[in-house]
Structure formats: structure tokens, C-alpha cells
Amino acid sequence: MTTLYVDNIAPNLQSKISAPNLQLPSGSVVQVVQGTTVANIATTSTSFTSTGFSLNITPTSTSSKILIMLNGGGVFLDTTSENTMHTTVYRGATNLANSTYGFTRHSTPGGSWQLTPHSFSFLDSPSTTSATTYTIYYRSTNGNQIQFSNNDRGIVALTLMEIAG
């Protein structure tokens, strides 16, 4: 009879076999969830307002991180004053990326609609294995109308990636 001695076994990352206790190397992408919208979502609020655009993800480990990425475009109306659109992301009721974080689009007055492409990423540490909801919020600095998305401005995509901790 032959004996096999092994010092180390590493998972085959190309394998489709999943095991309940499989530990991926830190930084590995565990899962990806994506949603898109072209709905007309508009506000004049100067307080953060939910866009209603959200995604759920259920982390497989409490040590996992969630990489949140938002890309796409909306518009806002410039009339008589400068305007800035602030965009942020909430986990449940918690504002993760306060407007001071810099998710903004600024323009000068002109009385016309200005394109406002969104593009940001944020790395969250939810420390849970429960379903977690991320929702995009936005606000106008001067009360002029802003549109987070608009069906003739293209798709806005929200992507959540679970990263092994």
C-alpha cells in the first residue's frame, strides 16, 4: 500500500466545486451582484433622498468586504445659481460615504440641462453574513432639479463585489 504525504493543499480557484469551509485567499472576489436602471429619478431636495435604486448581497463571511461601484449618468438643471449634485450610498440607514467624501458633480449656471455622470467606489466592512441592502441617495445643493437617472441619458449601473477578508 502507498502512503501520500502532503504538506499543503491549496484550492483550485478554477474549480466549480464549492465546499462550505473553503477559504479563498484574502482579496479574492467571492461573488458579484449588479443592477441597472434607466428610470426617471428626480428631486429638488437639498437633503439626501433615496433614489430607490438598491441592491442586496449576502456576504459569506463576517470578514468579507463589499466593494460598491456606481457608474452611469443623470442630469441636472442649471438656472440662476451654481449647483452641485452629491451622491452617496447607504447600508440600511447608515450613510457610508458622507457628501464630504466627494461624490459630486458641479457646474455653473446656464439655464440648461447638464450631464452628470456618476462614478464612485466605496469599500465597506459590514461584518455580517446576513442579507445587506445598499441604496443610492442623492441631493441638490441649491434646490434646482437634479435627475439621478433618466431614460434618455443611458444606464446607471450599481455593482457589489464581495471581497474575501
Name the class of domain 39-163: mainly beta
Q: What is the DSSP string of 53-89?
A: EEEEE--SSTT-EEEEEEEEEEEEE--SS-EEEEEEE
Q: For all residues of the chain together, what is the average pLDDT?
A: 80
Predicted confidence at residue 102, as pLDDT, reads 44
pLDDT of residue 16: 52
Question: Confidence class of residue 63 from pLDDT cuts 50, 70 and 90?
Answer: very high
Going from N- to C-terminal start, the domains of the chain cover 39-163
DSSP the chain: ------S-----TT-----TT--PPTT-EEEEEEEEE---EEE--SS-EEEEEEEEE--SSTT-EEEEEEEEEEEEE--SS-EEEEEEEEETTEESS-GGG--EEEE---SSEEEEEEEEEEEE----SS-EEEEEEEEESSS--EEEE-TTS--EEEEEEEE--
Q: What pLDDT sits at residue 106? A: 53
pLDDT tens digits for 71-88? 887 666 655 566 677 888
DSSP secondary-structure letter at 25?
A: P
- The pLDDT confidence band at residue 160, using thresholds 50, 70 and 90, is very high
Report if pTM > 0.75: yes
92: confidence class by pLDDT, cuts 50, 70, 90: very high
| 24 Cβ neighbours under 8 A, 6+ residues apart | 11, 13, 30, 164
Is residue 37 over pLDDT 60?
A: yes
Which residues, listed in sequence order, are joined to residue 115 by a DSSP beta bridge? 75
Least confident of 20-29, 129-138, 155-164: 20-29
Length of the chain: 165
More confident residue, 98 or 163: 163
